[in-house]
Amino acid sequence: MMVRTILKSKGIYTGSEFIEKGAIIVENNIVKEITNSPYIDKTKDDIKDFSNHFIIPLLCDYHLHFQSKKSFMETIHQLRSYGISTAFEGGDPDLSGIKAKKEGVVNRFYVKTSGAALYKSGGYGGFLGRGVNNTNEAKIMIKKLYSLNVDYIKIVNSGIFLPESNTITDGGFKADELSEMIGFCNHLGLDVYCHANGERAIREAVLAGAKAIIHGFFPSQATISLISDRGVIFIPTLYALKSLKTIYKTQKARDNLSKAEETHMETIRRSIELKVKVLPGSDSGPFFIPYGKACQEEAVLLRQLGMTIDDLVKSSKINQISQGNEAAFLLFNGSTFTGPEINKDEMQNV
């Protein structure tokens, strides 16, 4: 006889609605019913009481990098073990995201891939993708990526923040080049996510029509307002910025990092206040930013800066809890995630 598992909760965020004090009834690892008044047979049912936790859908990591030298299956398994079921991959020279997407289909993991990021030759971006000298070369590369069925295009429009010198390295395109490239992508039906740091790079990316800004360190208040007005997505990768303290050890670098963190947190707070769509992205890939854990930590940081649980769940709209779907969820008490809690052979994350 099949045993039902009944998960009681403080509330269930399904992705489309909130059910206060809801319960999920599971049979054979499939959601059979979502209700706030379940019939319980205490002699037969396996009851899991999570009354101090919300049950939420699995998360989406909106920015990470796969490593061609590491098993994609191993990386996907690690992400799944932390309740991540979907990832937006930010590019590398080996087109690892395209290969990982094929592995993901087999392992019930969904990869949205950019294939290889485009960067201006001579500037920052060598380990993220392919360098181009001009818009003609960019269009050739975009066509190639389009033929490989990428989900979006990633463009590197600045360098990175260096804590030691408190500067942003060289990189990015001229405003007219960026506008032409984004227009070409949009003509093909592809959105563009821009790596952009610094006021000029961020503002020009927004004005050029970027769908999302990744990282987004040091914009002005006016540019944050512009991001809000244009409906541009913001993926701030705060946990990745904080993680730089594991590799920068001088007092000068650490002091600069602390100031940069405070500035970036204020940018995120202001963005949330202005109803910018802020999404969790880990920037995992480097050894000091662990797959899965970093995305959870990013989500917690965003909660601390004002994101509601409802907005956090909506950021994972690709994943929903519904009748007939796989019984895989996360427990969230408002500040930390928990999982897996039930037999790992039966249920993936709760």
Domain ranges of the chain: 5-56+320-338, 59-314
For β-strands 30-35 and 23-27, DSSP reports them as antiparallel
Q: Are 61 and 282 in contact (CB under 8 A)?
A: yes
Query: In the block, which residue shows the tokens 């500035």?
Result: 263
In angstroms, how far is CA 124 from the centroid of its own chain? Answer: 22
For residue 259, what are the CA distances in angstroms to 99, 160, 194, 269?
A: 39, 16, 24, 15
State the Cα–Cα distance between residues 299 and 307, nearest whole angstrom.
9
pLDDT of the residue at 12: 95
> At a CB cut-off of 8 Å and minimum separation 6, what does 93 contact?
116, 126, 127, 128, 129, 130
Cα(269)–Cα(196) distance, integer angstroms = 19
Q: Residue 138 corresponds to which amino acid?
A: A
The top-level CATH class assigned to 5-56+320-338 is mainly beta
Give the whole-angstrom CA distance, residue 78 versus residue 226: 37
In the prediction, which pLDDT does 1 show?
56
Q: What stretch of H or E contains 233?
A: strand 233-235
- pLDDT number for residue 341: 39
For 176-190, what is each residue's pLDDT tens digit?
999 999 999 999 999
pTM above 0.75, yes or no: yes
Q: Does domain 59-314 have CATH number 3.40.50.300?
A: no
Q: Report, as ranges of residue numbers, the positions in the chain whose pLDDT lies below 50.
A: 340-350
CB atoms within 10 A of CB 266: 13
What is the pLDDT at residue 343?
A: 32
Domains 5-56+320-338 and 59-314 share a fold: no
Tokens of 81: 């073990």
Name the CA dihedral angle for 77, 61, 245, 96, rounded to a multiple of 10 degrees.
60
| Element of type H or E holding 224 | helix 221-230
How many other C-beta atoms can be found within 10 angstroms of the C-beta atom of residue 164? 12
The encoded tokens of residue 87 equal 């990832």
Candidates 138, 143, 136, 184; CA nearest to 157 is 138
| pLDDT value of residue 346 | 32
In the sheet where 233-235 sits, what is the strand order? 129-132, 117-120, 153-156, 192-196, 212-215, 233-235
* Residues forming beta bridges with residue 61, ordered by sequence position: 87
